[in-house]
Amino acid sequence: MADQLTVAGGGKTGSFSYDILWRDSFSALGDALRQIPDLRPGRICIVSDSNVAELYMAAVRRALEALSASVCEWVFPAGEESKTLATVTELYGFLIERHFDRHDLLIALGGGVTGDLTGFAAATYLRGIDFVQIPTSLLAQVDSSIGGKTGVDMAMYKNMVGSFHQPRLVYMNTRVLETLPDGQFASGMGEVIKTALLGDPALYAALQTEAEKIRERDPDVMAGVIRACCAVKADIVAQDPTEKGVRALLNLGHTLGHAIEKCRNYELPHGQCVGLGLLAAARLSAKRGLIPADLAVQIRDLLQVYDLPVSAGDVSAQDLLLATKSDKKMADGQIRFILLRGIGQAYVDKTVTDDELLWAAASVLSRSQTDTQEHEDMTQADTKEHGDRSQADTQKHDDRTQNTAAAGK
Ligand SMILES: NC(=O)c1ccc[n+]([C@@H]2O[C@H](COP(=O)([O-])OP(=O)(O)OC[C@H]3O[C@@H](n4cnc5c(N)ncnc54)[C@H](O)[C@@H]3O)[C@@H](O)[C@H]2O)c1
Ligand SMILES: [Zn+2]
């Protein structure tokens, strides 16, 4: 399989073209940067979080010292709490003290938090300097490092302030996933499943057939998964760099996912909340008869295979609805919910009602509600397709369905 892919596009923010490279160490980084025409940085600042810096800063620094005599490091405390203007302001101060100018370069070494905040600093420092993404989390390798969305959170509002600013290069060292904690690997798998659902049926099939190897982080199989995700994202970004249309599909699972993230006070990693949002979107799609009900069941099972939660825990559907409303206002007062017509067939739906949102939110709150809904959906669908469900199961769910209906949902 190719060890590089080009992301290219154009539009209001100008045209861009950059490579995603896959290597098994950091040693080729200097050479890769030398290949980029018009990129001749005097100074380089490597931005990383406290966890990743400890593991990989030295190797990245060594690789960059072959390119520039002036390489410095700037490390912030790991975690979403650091994705703020205050952190970026500290970084601006550091760059100013070291006389960084427009020809200099920032390197984002880390997960999505590092990429988003470094990219935002690069977009705004001196009205824009170059930056390079070296994504180290699975989530960043399959999603956040590509496409140029940068930004920070404001209080409890995610990504409220930001800018589109494309990196000059995305350099992935495939070995770094070895050190990623399990919960973070699962979080990345949430975005992988999202990508498969919205744009790649073959990847979706591989997630079923290669589950064991993926769970073991088999390097060859993971390389295929990551490349497939990057190809989907690169294609969508090329068509719509600034999210005026098709790029919105990448938000599959994110309306409720962000709401869950917020209502759970950011205790659950982003991709885990996205997984819950995907499940809610799949169930709503099944409820509307857009996809067979057993596909929603299969998606729930797939989330579980990858250790992703299928219940959002201690939050209320009403609170989730309220949290989506703050998103709703931002989208010109109209909610843009992404639904599925099949695997690889996501679409933006502007007709989702509050009742439907409440239903979708409730569907990922507790086990009993979950079972009830799946049964409800299944009774609406062609029952022949679900012959493997036992009579006893059906009876058990029937009672609960009636209770839910009586409660008026
Ligand atoms: N810009 C975009 O298009 C986009 C897309 C999706 C998500 N995001 C953003 O990305 C962020 C989430 O990204 P994330 O999940 O990577 O979070 P993160 O950057 O906080 O990384 C998760 C954790 O894993 C650690 N880590 C990362 N790589 C590691 C490695 N190789 N070994 C050991 N530990 C490692 C980090 O230190 C951190 O503790 C959110 O803020 C989300 O909004 C942005
Ligand atoms: Zn996401």
CATH number, domain of 371, equals 1.20.1090.10
Residue of 52, 55, 159, 171 with the most ligand 1 atoms within 8 Å of its CB, for mutation: 52
What does the pLDDT read at residue 393? 37
Q: What is the amino acid identity at position 173?
A: N
**CB of 176 closer than 6 A to ligand 1?**
yes
What does the pLDDT read at residue 327? 64
* Last-in-domain residue among 180, 201, 227: 180
Residue of 20, 48, 51 with the most ligand 1 atoms within 8 Å of its CB, for mutation: 51
**Tens digit of pLDDT at every position of the chain (409 positions):** 469 999 999 877 679 999 999 999 999 999 999 999 899 999 999 999 999 999 999 999 999 998 999 999 999 999 999 999 999 999 999 999 999 999 999 999 999 999 999 999 999 999 999 999 999 999 999 999 999 999 999 987 889 999 999 999 999 999 999 999 999 999 999 999 999 999 999 999 999 999 999 999 999 999 999 999 999 999 999 999 988 889 999 999 999 999 999 999 888 999 999 999 999 999 999 999 999 999 999 999 999 999 999 999 989 999 999 998 876 445 566 788 999 999 999 999 999 999 999 999 999 997 544 444 454 444 444 333 333 333 333 333 333 333 333 333 2
Which atom in ligand 1 lies closest to the alpha carbon of residue 147? 3
Q: Are residues 141 and 214 in the same domain?
A: no
Q: Are residues 159 and 188 in the same domain?
A: no
Q: Which residue has the tokens 């979107």?
A: 281
- Would 406 be classed as within a structural domain? no
**CB of 114 closer than 6 A to ligand 1?**
yes
Q: Are residues 318 and 239 in the same domain?
A: yes
- Would 409 be classed as within a structural domain? no
- Would 407 be classed as within a structural domain? no
**CB of 134 closer than 6 A to ligand 1?**
no
**CB of 138 closer than 6 A to ligand 1?**
no
* Last-in-domain residue among 122, 154, 180: 180
- Give CA–CA dist 243/150, Å, rounded: 13
Q: Are residues 60 and 204 in the same domain?
A: no
- Would 395 be classed as within a structural domain? no
**CB of 136 closer than 6 A to ligand 1?**
yes
Q: Are residues 167 and 191 in the same domain?
A: no
Minimum CA distance residue for ligand 1 atom 21: 111
Query: What would the pLDDT profile of 195-247 be if each residue is shown by its tens digit?
Result: 999 999 999 999 999 999 999 999 999 999 999 999 999 999 999 998 888 99
What does the pLDDT read at residue 155? 82
Q: Are residues 211 and 115 in the same domain?
A: no
Q: Are residues 252 and 194 in the same domain?
A: yes
Q: Which ligand is nearest to the CA of 217?
A: 1
Q: Are residues 186 and 305 in the same domain?
A: yes
- C-alpha pair distances (Å), 354 with each of 68, 336, 350, 360: 55, 12, 12, 10
**CB of 243 closer than 6 A to ligand 1?**
no
What does the pLDDT read at residue 330? 53
CA of 137 relative to ligand 1 center, distance in Å: 6
CA of 402 relative to ligand 1 center, distance in Å: 43
Q: Are residues 202 and 162 in the same domain?
A: no
Q: Are residues 25 and 144 in the same domain?
A: yes
Q: Are residues 131 and 34 in the same domain?
A: yes
- Would 66 be classed as within a structural domain? yes
Nearest to 361 by CA among 226, 206, 256: 256
- Would 403 be classed as within a structural domain? no
**CB of 55 closer than 6 A to ligand 1?**
yes
What does the pLDDT read at residue 11? 72
Burial class (CB in 10 A: 0-12, 13-18, 19+), 307: middle
CA of 147 relative to ligand 1 center, distance in Å: 15
Count the domains in the chain. 2
Q: Are residues 188 and 79 in the same domain?
A: no
**CB of 45 closer than 6 A to ligand 1?**
no
Boundaries of domain holding 56: 4-180
What does the pLDDT read at residue 126? 97
**CB of 173 closer than 6 A to ligand 1?**
no
CATH number, domain of 102, equals 3.40.50.1970
What does the pLDDT read at residue 245? 87
- Would 174 be classed as within a structural domain? yes
* Last-in-domain residue among 125, 146, 180: 180
CA of 272 relative to ligand 2 center, distance in Å: 9
Burial class (CB in 10 A: 0-12, 13-18, 19+), 295: buried
- Would 191 be classed as within a structural domain? yes
Minimum CA distance residue for ligand 1 atom 44: 144
Residue of 20, 47, 82, 139 with the most ligand 1 atoms within 8 Å of its CB, for mutation: 139
Minimum CA distance residue for ligand 1 atom 37: 51
